[in-house]
Chains A and B, each alone.
Chain A
Amino acid sequence: MTIPDWDNYICKHCARYYGWLPASQEFAARIRKNHVKYFTLSDTQAIDIFMLEMEGILVRDGNKMLPEVVICEEEAGKIPIILDVVRPPLREAVIYGRLQDLLTYEEADDNELSSAWARSYEGRKRKKVKEGHDKLVSFFPFDIVNFDPNDNLLNPSLKNNKLYQALERIFELQKDTDTFLLMVTTPIYDVAIGTEDKFKSDFQRNTEKYPEFSSSLKNSFGVINFNGVEEHKKIAICFVKSLIYPAALKSGWSCSHKGIYVYENPKCNKYLDAVIECVKTSDEKAKNSYIADLVRVTENMPEYYPKSVSSKDKKIISHLESIKAFREAGRQLDLQ
Chain B
Amino acid sequence: MNMNIPETDQGAIKVSEVSIAQLSRGLYRSTAAAFKELVSNAWDADAASVRIDTNYPDFNFISCVDNGPGMTLEQFLNYFNKQGIGYCFKRKGNKNITDKYERPIIGRLGIGMLAIGQLCHSFEIESHYINQQGKGEAYKAEIILLDESIPLLDEKLSDKNVEKEEIEVGKWRYDSKIPYDESKQGFRIYSADVRDTFTQEMKASIDSNIKASLAFDFSTLHKRFYDETKKSIRERMSYLENVWELSILCPLPYYEKKDYPFFLDSFNTSDEEFKDALKLIEDYQSRFRIYNFRVIFDGIDLKRHIQFPTEYDTTPRIFYTHNDEIVAGRQLKYSGYIFAQTNAITPLELNGLQIRLRGVGIGGYDSTFLKYYKQIETIRSRWVSGEIFVEVGLESALNIDRDSFNEHDEHFKKLQSELHEKLDKVFNIMESIAKVKRDVKRESKDRTIHENLESIIKENSDGRFELLERELGRGAPLVSVNREQGEIILNTSLSPLKKKKANMIIRHIASAYYIAKSTAKNSEDEFDIFYRLVKDILAELV
Contact = CB atoms under 8 A, between A and B. Distances in A.
A14 B299 CA distance: 32
Nearest to A79: B61
Interface in A48-88: 63-65, 76-77, 79-81, 83-84, 87-88
A235 B41 CA distance: 53
A120 interface: yes
Nearest to B64: A80
A31 to B, nearest CB: 24
A79 B53 contact: yes
Contact of A124 (B56, B57, B193): B193
Interface string A222-236: 000000000000000
A96 interface: yes
Given A76-B190, A84-B51, A94 B299 contact: no
Interface stretch (B140-148, B267-275, B443-451): B140-148
A12 B266 CA distance: 61
B88 interface: no
A93 interface: yes
Nearest to B56: A89
Interface residues of B, number: 36
B537 to A, nearest CB: 52
Contacts of A125: 193
A79 B190 contact: yes
Interface residues of A, number: 29
B153 to A, nearest CB: 13
B343 to A, nearest CB: 33
Interface string B108-149: 000000000000011010100000000000001000101110
Contact of A77 (B124, B148, B217): B124
Given A63-B214, A120-B147, A120-B148, A80 B193 contact: no
Contacts of B188: 77, 80
Contacts of B193: 121, 124-125, 128
B238 interface: no
Contacts of A124: 121-122, 193
Contacts of B63: 79-80, 83
Interface string B43-63: 000000001010111111101
B299 A77 contact: no
B61 A119 contact: no
B60 A131 contact: yes
A116 B58 contact: no
A272 to B, nearest CB: 28
A151 interface: no
Interface in A82-121: 83-84, 87-89, 91-94, 96, 116, 119-121
Given A76-B190, A87-B299, A120-B147, A93 B56 contact: yes
Contact of A89 (B146, B148, B192, B298): B298
Contact of B216 (A63, A79, A119): A63
A247 B301 CA distance: 46
A49 to B, nearest CB: 15
A83 B60 contact: no
B121 to A, nearest CB: 7
Interface in B195-240: 211, 213-217
B148 to A, nearest CB: 5
B191 interface: yes
B7 to A, nearest CB: 49
Given A119-B147, A121-B144, A93 B55 contact: yes
Contacts of B248: none
Contact of A128 (B56, B184, B192, B300): B192
Nearest to A125: B193
A80 B60 contact: no
B156 to A, nearest CB: 15
A121 B55 contact: no
A119 B148 contact: yes
Choose among B55, B124, B215 the residue with the greatest number of A CB atoms under 10 Å from its CB.
B55
In the complex, the 10 A-B pairs of residues with the closest C-beta atoms, listed nearest first: A88-B216, A88-B299, A93-B58, A80-B63, A121-B147, A93-B55, A89-B56, A83-B53, A76-B192, A80-B65
Interface of B: 51, 53, 55-61, 63, 65, 121-122, 124, 126, 140, 144, 146-148, 184, 188, 190-193, 211, 213-217, 298-301
Given A63-B216, A121-B121, 20 more contacts: A76-B61, A76-B190, A77-B126, A77-B190, A80-B51, A83-B55, A83-B299, A84-B51, A89-B56, A89-B299, A91-B57, A91-B211, A92-B58, A93-B59, A93-B61, A96-B55, A96-B61, A120-B147, A120-B148, A135-B58
Interface of A: 63-65, 76-77, 79-81, 83-84, 87-89, 91-94, 96, 116, 119-121, 124-125, 128, 131, 135, 334-335
